[in-house]
Structure 1
């Protein structure tokens, strides 16, 4: 089964759980859109936390490699600033590690393909080595969004 998230343009719905540093969880829902231009791919995303109503908006750019198995990316977070990362494909998973240009923040996210229209994203963000937040998010695209 070929990967569809990020490698194809499209709109994805997002829902799941978000955990803070004290492991308190709250529901999360959102949306993201992947666009492909000739030299760069873009991701526009938002995620709303259900209990606090806090909304996170992200704008990311991806520089795909010619072989398609890896890519470099950068993303701007409204409060934390710019992040730079790398994405690699491995079987039915996409592995991404990232670091903030502030030198304080770093993290990772794994996207596991469930089928052509569904992925599970699990990841964490750390500040100076301590977990700030983590997430378990389902991504879905297509007619059954």
Structure 2
């Protein structure tokens, strides 16, 4: 049914993210899980929701391939590769479940501060998410969602 064994996991993850984001986000604090941490970081720095980047280009959203279509997509590619590096370096072992691993951070007047993360995985995830939001801040806010041309 799926070309790759992890295809089903990606579909389940995407579905779960969509359901949780749309039904439970208003009931949960932004720092409940890593996904909410990224959402909260975007609100802190960008003043809008990180879902603006979901399904943008070749790298923003589930999966990723090819050459990024623009600087926004490049930010997403580096974010994916940052998570991959955390796994390759042995800091995180539970992918894709690491996306739901909560970590400590705070917003200080529009600046994202990672801290208090005792595990190397939580520290790495916080650094990756902070880096992508700071990267997005250097780009324009997406007005549409261009698709990957590859």
User: TM-score when scaled to structure 1?
Assistant: 0.29
Higher strand share: 1
User: TM-score when scaled to structure 2?
Assistant: 0.29
Higher helix share: 2
